[in-house]
Chain A
Amino acid sequence: MRKKKSPVSIIVLMIFFILLLVPIYWMINTSFKTNTEIQRSMTWVPQKFTTKNYTSIFISKLWQRSFLQTLEYVVLNVAIVLIAAVPAAYTFSRWKFKGHQHLFFWLLTNRMAPGAAFLVPMFTLFSVIGLFDTILAVALAHCLFNLPLAIWILEGFMRGIPRAIDETAFIDGYGFMKFFGKIFLPLIKQGIAVTAFFCFMFSWVELLLSRTLTAVGTKPITVSLTRSLGAGGWDWGLIAAAGVLTMIPGAVVVYFVRNYMVKGFAMGRV
């Protein structure tokens, strides 16, 4: 039962997607230009096509390291968040205990905490416990906004799964861990995919905290970008190329979770 879309709506959609892509195209375009061309005139296609900007990133140890370290702390963050959030969300979805509502609400409020407000104390805290300038520090700090979000999304998914399933499994003699691993987790795998996607995204794009908590040993990619922005001459071609490169992991992730995403969005709260 498919309705044909009217041509007007197709045109509107196409205009939207074109507008969506123009700024991105402009950056890709800039990334293939030489700096003289960037500064001299506006051209929609590079006149002198060059991949110099990319090669200088690829051979640079600094950029390679930033890229890998960023992936490391993002993945670490997603892992930590999921390990902590799945049991917590299960608790919230299954039992009402004293202070249940308050605790849940308090967790959520941290999603709204402006990072700027937490800069100084986090810096002090991580310096004191000796984690400053490590991957783990950034991964832990990002729990501030990712953990509440994860619990929130997962709780929505888990609430949709009837409690009767738990009870039947326990009557059938499943232990808690076995029930969780064999029955419950497969049921909410879409929810986990959506959660992982959001945590990945928010950790990958964050700048303020990751910049404050790192110095020499760890260099988030977002920081390397901003640093090269500040460093004297503005190497626009290089910055554009680095920008293009940082978009790639995100696009890959979207591609893999796209099916889960819509189903997941629809089932859960987000």
Chain B
Amino acid sequence: MKNKVLVLLLPSLLLMSISAFVPLMTVLNYSLHVLFSGSIPKYIGLENYVNALKDPAFLSSMGKQFLFCLEILLIEIPMGLALALLLPKRGIMIGPILVLLGIPLLIPWNVVGIIWRVFAREDIGALPVIFSKLGFFYNVSKVPAHAWWTIVIMDVWHWTPLVTLLCYAGLQAIPQEFYQAARVDSASKIATFRYITLPKLKYVLIIAVLLRCMDAFKIYDEPFILTAGGPGTSTELLSIFTSRQVIGGFNMGYSSAVSLIYFIVVLLLCYILYTVMTKIGEH
């Protein structure tokens, strides 16, 4: 059996060592050095990490990242679930509806950015015109709050369909007998939802929250193309900050430390979320 396990796992382990393990170890090694391209690396221990954690720009982008993640989860999860409940269970409309829901998910992420840039730009977009007709001022490249909410709305637009699809599939998997039993007991709609639907959807919801959380932390292309972190640094999320350090920064040691802190934060957050969510409703 041992040999079989090894043989079957080997391709995956080889692939992951190329695409994950070796790069991770390299970043770890870089992060412990002062490293400018062309000069000899100097070992400095954890100093890069200490500097990163003192860097106000890094901390502020971390804060923005958490806020962003929280906001989109609070909007997308309830909204996705509600829409899934509203969708018809069967019928001829299901095919087209699923395809429609799938479309935003399959648009390349930078094209999502382009769509919204074309849509929201002050000179060529539809949004500013609509807002000004309604009597509001809207300028995505000048007002930080407008840029921020445009990015949040863009993410909601982009990813709520995923949550809906997941919940919809989860709902389809609940046997009808449960609902019949509930009707026999003349349970109220709210009680049926609370005691049958929600518990049965628990794992699907965990998946949805985790996926959205991970990807919200990785989000790069869309906000980068929409505002490039601006105006100022008002929408500079963690990935934009990090890749700016990696691409534009000179000290690769420092940018590696930033990358690793970033990775660790994502890991911890997902781990905590997973643990908490599995515990909920276990009794």
Residues of A near any B CB (own CB < 8 A): 1-2, 5, 9, 12-13, 16-17, 19-24, 26-27, 30, 38-39, 42, 44, 80, 83-85, 87-88, 90-91, 95, 97, 103, 107, 109-122, 124-125, 140-144, 147-148, 151, 176, 201, 204-208, 221-222, 225-226, 229, 236, 239-240, 243, 246-247, 249-251, 253-255, 258, 261-267, 269-270
Contact = CB atoms under 8 A, between A and B. Distances in A.
Contacts, number: 265
Given A222-B110, A254-B106, A265-B169, 7 more contacts: A38-B124, A39-B124, A116-B246, A143-B19, A205-B108, A226-B225, A236-B124
A207 B255 contact: no
B170 A266 contact: yes
B22 A114 contact: no
B243 A116 contact: yes
5 closest A-B pairs (Cβ-Cβ)? Answer: A250-B106, A265-B169, A117-B259, A121-B26, A254-B102
A147 B157 contact: no
Interface of B: 1-2, 4-5, 7-9, 11-12, 14-16, 18-20, 22-24, 26-27, 30, 83, 86-91, 95, 97-111, 114-116, 118-119, 123-126, 129, 157, 161, 165-166, 168-170, 172-173, 176, 203, 207, 211, 214, 217-218, 220-221, 225, 238-239, 242-243, 246-247, 252, 255-256, 259-260, 262-263, 266-267, 270
A213 B111 CA distance: 20
Contact of B11 (A84, A117, A144, A262): A84
Contacts of B123: 39
B106 A253 contact: yes
B168 A113 contact: no
B8 A26 contact: no
Chain B interface main SS type? helix
B122 to A, nearest CB: 11
Contacts of A262: 98, 165, 168-169, 172
A152 to B, nearest CB: 9
26 contacts: A13-B87, A20-B104, A26-B126, A113-B20, A113-B263, A114-B217, A118-B20, A119-B243, A125-B26, A143-B15, A205-B107, A207-B221, A222-B108, A222-B221, A225-B111, A229-B225, A247-B103, A254-B98, A254-B106, A255-B99, A265-B169, A266-B169, A266-B170, A266-B172, A270-B166, A270-B211
B9 A208 contact: no
A251 B102 CA distance: 7
Contacts of A87: 7-9, 11-12
A270 B217 CA distance: 19
Contacts of A110: 16, 19-20
B77 to A, nearest CB: 15
